[in-house]
Structure 1
Amino acid sequence: MDFDRVLEKCGNFGRFQFVILILYGYTNILSSLHYFSQTLITFTPEHWCSHDDLMGLSAEDLRSIYSNVSHSSCTPLQGVINGTGIPADSSEICQDWIFERESGYESLTTELKWVCDKSHQPAVGQSFFFLGSVVGTITFGFLSDHIGRLPAMLMATLSGATGDFMTSFVHTLPWFAFSRFVSGLSTDTMYYLMYILVFEYLSPKRRTFGLNIILAVFYCFGLMTSPWAAIWIGNWRRYLWLASLPALGVLVYPLLICESAQWLLTKKKYDEAVACLKRVAKFNGRQVEDSVFDEFVKHYREKMNQQAQVNKQRDTFLGMFRTPRLRRFTLTLLLKSVIITLSYDVINRNMEGLGTSPFKLFSLTSSVYLPAGFAILLLQNRIGRKGMACGALFVGGIITAVTGFLIAFLDPKENAILLACMVALGRFGSTVSYDAEIQYAAEIIPTSVRGQAVSNIHVVGLASSSLAFYVIYLAQYYKPLPSIFISCLMFFGAALCLSLPETLHKKLPESLADGEVFAMNESCFYFPCFYKRRDGLTKHADLKSEP
């Protein structure tokens, strides 16, 4: 008797699953506050070099005075004559600035004056943030497969919150870089470890609904409210307190849920796995006989013994490269993660210069996370995981290319609403691609290495995020170039998906041996929706041919 059958007897969509989904939603709120905090705290508003003659003037007056001055943000004035600014000697540099703050919001760049010759310093913090994410994803992914999903997730969440809290007290670049490194340790790690935990306790038929709708609702809530929370609080330091202190709530998780029973089975901790399943059954109000658990343990003991005789090597992530099919799947997932994560970051972080407030644009376009979740819910179980991943990337590529050309040829201030709609569509496509990829990868990877493999695939994608700023910089040469580049990547990613197996309605692999023979002899163009229709037509024809 395998795990799925025992979980069904214990309840695979009952009260226990409801609680774990709520906690998953709470983790999504923490993740959204944490991941985009770097963008909100380093927002740089329009600014001008300060001068006594400029005190008390409106932003329109300042723009008019500086209209004949190039690089108005960093060019000091000698004075103002007849409403026109007279640039000072080129040897002089700005010592102070006038900022057009968004609703009075004090960001890190406005408080510490990290502009002009210091404008690179927030980017240094960003680079250390992603460096920390690489280290953290590898570290906590390794720990999740050795000490368990739950403790690794708690450690990751608290380390990220500690980094955000430390950042709120810094005043110098070295301490800022260090605190952002610590903060980056948990970037997405806390999310995907909780994702794996929920994934393993949910009914296969309910995974798409539970995982994607909860993600859409709670992550969307966090993204839409965080910019307004930052403006309401009015200061980047206090905003980081808001983003970090709620992470202490994860300390109650062990009291409400238990460790992954599937992970315990791969570590041959059969008694602990049975204890977890009995806890699930009790929580769900189910009565399961001891003989069921005895048969369950016997099944896995025999399975582990058989695998040990065939392959005495322990399952590891590197083991996925030893056999041809798993090696191809793994390399494809790694490359697809790079494409999707880079596309996601470029589209989601490029919010300035589009004719409206970046805070408002970020918040309003974040609403697409909800319909993106419903799109996955409605389509993924119909067209299959591969069809969803391939289709989302292909459609997202088209939307991104069109958006880039509109940005290039339209005046942002006169077409702010249209550009906001196109940005929202771009975020919708990238979000569907990103969220669909997570579940697809988790289903292809065997249980024995799922935590470490998902983390390693994820870390490669996160490492590619450091290239996002260089991709955006391509606009200096030709405005739609970043969008064209990203759309080409998305088209390539859509083609890559064809080489992966379909996982819908299939028993997922538990070991590397299972993974190597998973979906053997399946066509690259196998999509369940087409085959289901073909089977239906065949049965209909057979019925008509009967006398």
Structure 2
Amino acid sequence: MLEVDKILEKCGDFHRMQWIMLLLFCLINLLSAMHYYSQTIISFVPTYWCADGLAADESRRVAPAKSSCLPLNYNRNSSTDTCEIYNYDLYMGYESYTSDMSWICDQAWKLTLGQSMFFVGSVIGTLSLGYLADIVGRLPILVVANVIAMLGNLLTIWGTNLILFCTFRLISGFATDSNFVMMYILVMEYLRPSLRTIGLSLCIGLFYCLGSMLAPWLAILVQSWRGFLLCTSLPLLLVPLFYFIVPESVQWLISKQKYDQAVACLKRVAQINGRQVIESHFEEFIEECKFSQQHTKCTPNLLDLFKTSRLRRHTLILFFKSMVITLCYDAVSRNVQGLGISPFVMFSLSATTILPACLLLIALQDRIGRKAMASISLLLSGLFISVTGCILFTATTKTSEKTTILLVSLSVIGRFGVTVAYNSGAQYATELIPTCVRGQGVAAVHVAGYAFTFFSAFILYTRSIFPPLPEVILGVISFLGAGLCLLLPETLNRTLPTSLEDGENFGKNDRWFTFSFIERRSQSATTLQSNSGMESTLHF
């Protein structure tokens, strides 16, 4: 909304208030990272073995190198293939939900189901809270979402049976996305347009990375999954205080014709920034907004994206791309076991890719284009993930140190690639969907991705059937996603579609091999040839 940017420039669009909001956004990144990955950390599976008929000291002495559901061969007291009691080799003394509840072997499906319910909650919550955000505002939903996240994790502490665990994980997942996106929207609207990409990306890259890296070591520090959930939930009590600091979205207030409240928010921003704005400027701003709203036509809805052939194809590809990227991002970030290294170390190592991925995106996305960034990052991610699966398949039972280093390196590179693809995907969809349905379309694409992560836990569960199977599945769908990205048109340096008709005709002459950096090179070569021809003519 151009009117908001103009008045915000007078009130200050990169001063004290914006720095406060960026700092609060950094805190939100830190807390939301710990909330999201709590699902993984409480579910770590330590090495386990059957302890039926063994004394405590004997059981510890004969601990196997790999987990086993069957009675040990030398356990003469066991005459069956079933086991009643298991012992665990806890990672650095940390007791996870898995070891506490003994949800392993024939009970492992319970943990997988509970993890999946987290993402069911994400889908329901994203739709519900997104709808409510358009009714009651962004700021109240930001507070409510983080309170729900806190309650979901705290209630999980008492979720000691399957029904309670699934219910409380669903509640915890309900807040995912809204607990982060609402603050993202608020900061973006109050920040100078030229600084939005770099400012928001650096906040995400630094503090989401920091939260992800610290989360497993916080679990080690408190030694139990209950203590970890408690420590990551209580800081969320700070978020309701945002209500007294962060202003409501001016664009939302204007869309609801709450002009007095919009002006009050802008005056507050100006006061904190130390700016003096005369009253006539606010009155002129309100008149411009009213005039703009009077001439705004009824916009189409989400279903209109599927009425024409090319727009329908692009929309379906965006949906599938979001599903692939979100699934791979979640599965790869949680796939930290079975690689011959402590899952806590592996989790922190893979989390270090978040910041470089954001920096690479800032450096390259406006140079090589959205299409190249999305397809190449997915292709490389799929390649490294697939190679990791091949090495796991060929590795012997006793993995060598060199093999472990190779597996870890490939896994980290795969995580880096899928993080780049995940971060670039949101901007690509935002630019490709026509303006008239952009809000609904982007939300639907985002929700489709969260819905597909329901299968993430089940894909990782296939490791119990065949160790390299998760990598094989993730590699195949990454390749498929990279291929489909080639069918989308480039958006860099082009006038973005505003109407449905624009969306249908956008990039009509593009081919699968059309990339922005190739176009620029061809245009430069053509220009040079043209100049040379003119010079020759002049000499002649």
Distance (Å, rounded) in 2 between the aligned partners of 1:296 and 1:209 = 28
- Matched residue pairs, number? 528
Distance (Å, rounded) in 2 between the aligned partners of 1:407 and 1:377 = 34
How is 1:196-211 mapped onto 2 (pairs within 5 angstroms)? 196-211=185-200
For residue 414 of structure 2, what is the amino acid of its counterpart?
Answer: G
Q: Secondary structure at the match of 2:352?
A: helix
Q: Secondary structure at the match of 2:444?
A: helix
| Deviation (angstroms), 1:427 | 0.7
For residue 489 of structure 1, what is the amino acid of its counterpart?
Answer: I
Tell me if 1:33 matches 2:34.
yes
How is 1:119-198 mapped onto 2 (pairs within 5 angstroms)? 119-198=108-187
Q: Given the superposition, is the C-alpha separation of residues 479 and 95 from structure 1 closer, same or farther in structure 2, using an over 3 Å criterion?
A: closer
Distance (Å, rounded) in 2 between the aligned partners of 1:504 and 1:284 = 34
For residue 86 of structure 1, what is the amino acid of its counterpart?
Answer: R
Partner of 2:76: 86
The counterpart of 2:265, out of the listed 269, 276, 281, is 276
Q: Deviations over 1:233-261 (max 9, x none)?
A: 00111110011111111112222221222
Partner of 1:331: 316
Distance (Å, rounded) in 2 between the aligned partners of 1:322 and 1:201 = 36
How large is the Cα RMSD of the aligned pairs?
3.2
How is 1:179-258 mapped onto 2 (pairs within 5 angstroms)? 179-258=168-247
Contact 1:193 1:451 in 2 (8 A): no
Q: Given the superposition, is the C-alpha separation of residues 22 and 507 from structure 1 closer, same or farther in structure 2, using an over 3 Å criterion?
A: farther
Q: Secondary structure at the match of 2:321?
A: helix
| Deviation (angstroms), 1:181 | 1.4
**Deviating more after overlay: 412-421 vs 495-504:** 495-504
Distance (Å, rounded) in 2 between the aligned partners of 1:57 and 1:298 = 82
Distance (Å, rounded) in 2 between the aligned partners of 1:363 and 1:428 = 13
Q: Given the superposition, is the C-alpha separation of residues 489 and 119 from structure 1 closer, same or farther in structure 2, using an over 3 Å criterion?
A: closer
Distance (Å, rounded) in 2 between the aligned partners of 1:500 and 1:296 = 39
| Deviation (angstroms), 1:536 | 5.0
Distance (Å, rounded) in 1 between the aligned partners of 2:17 and 2:383 = 41
Partner of 2:343: 358
Q: Given the superposition, is the C-alpha separation of residues 452 and 192 from structure 1 closer, same or farther in structure 2, using an over 3 Å criterion?
A: farther
**Deviating more after overlay: 227-236 vs 291-300:** 291-300
Partner of 1:21: 22
Q: Secondary structure at the match of 1:354?
A: coil
Contact 1:189 1:455 in 2 (8 A): no
The counterpart of 1:386, out of the listed 371, 374, 382, is 371
How is 1:55-134 mapped onto 2 (pairs within 5 angstroms)? 55-57=56-58, 61-63=62-64, 72-75=68-71, 84-86=74-76, 88-90=78-80, 93-134=82-123
**Deviating more after overlay: 482-491 vs 348-357:** 482-491
For residue 456 of structure 2, what is the amino acid of its counterpart?
Answer: A
| Deviation (angstroms), 1:398 | 2.3
Q: Given the superposition, is the C-alpha separation of residues 322 and 150 from structure 1 closer, same or farther in structure 2, using an over 3 Å criterion?
A: farther
Tell me if 1:458 matches 2:446.
yes
Contact 2:112 2:457 in 1 (8 A): no
Contact 1:356 1:413 in 2 (8 A): no
Distance (Å, rounded) in 2 between the aligned partners of 1:285 and 1:502 = 42
The counterpart of 2:426, out of the listed 425, 433, 438, is 438
Q: Deviations over 1:271-295 (max 9, x none)?
A: 4334433433443344445554444
Contact 1:264 1:272 in 2 (8 A): yes
Distance (Å, rounded) in 1 between the aligned partners of 2:282 and 2:395 = 66
Tell me if 1:524 matches 2:520.
no
Contact 2:198 2:362 in 1 (8 A): yes
For residue 33 of structure 1, what is the amino acid of its counterpart?
Answer: M
For residue 462 of structure 1, what is the amino acid of its counterpart?
Answer: Y
| Deviation (angstroms), 1:445 | 5.1
| Deviation (angstroms), 1:444 | 4.5
The percent identity for this pair of structures is 40
Tell me if 1:422 matches 2:410.
yes
Contact 1:444 1:508 in 2 (8 A): yes
**Deviating more after overlay: 212-221 vs 437-446:** 437-446
How is 1:280-291 mapped onto 2 (pairs within 5 angstroms)? 280-291=269-280
| Deviation (angstroms), 1:352 | 1.5
Distance (Å, rounded) in 2 between the aligned partners of 1:274 and 1:498 = 45
**Deviating more after overlay: 1-10 vs 137-146:** 1-10
Flag structure 2 segments of 5+ consecutive residues without an equivalent.
Answer: none
Q: Given the superposition, is the C-alpha separation of residues 112 and 263 from structure 1 closer, same or farther in structure 2, using an over 3 Å criterion?
A: same
Flag structure 1 segments of 5+ consecutive residues without an equivalent.
Answer: 78-83
Distance (Å, rounded) in 2 between the aligned partners of 1:274 and 1:515 = 33
Q: Deviations over 1:54-91 (max 9, x none)?
A: 42247563328xx9xxx8434378xxxxxx33262228
Distance (Å, rounded) in 1 between the aligned partners of 2:527 and 2:55 = 81
How is 1:508-523 mapped onto 2 (pairs within 5 angstroms)? 514=499, 517=502, 521-522=506-507, 523=509
| Deviation (angstroms), 1:322 | 5.4
| Deviation (angstroms), 1:187 | 1.8
Distance (Å, rounded) in 1 between the aligned partners of 2:108 and 2:412 = 28
**Deviating more after overlay: 183-192 vs 532-541:** 532-541
**What's the TM-score once normalised by structure 1's chain length?**
0.86
Partner of 1:266: 255
Distance (Å, rounded) in 2 between the aligned partners of 1:238 and 1:476 = 29
Q: Given the superposition, is the C-alpha separation of residues 75 and 479 from structure 1 closer, same or farther in structure 2, using an over 3 Å criterion?
A: closer
Contact 1:389 1:433 in 2 (8 A): yes
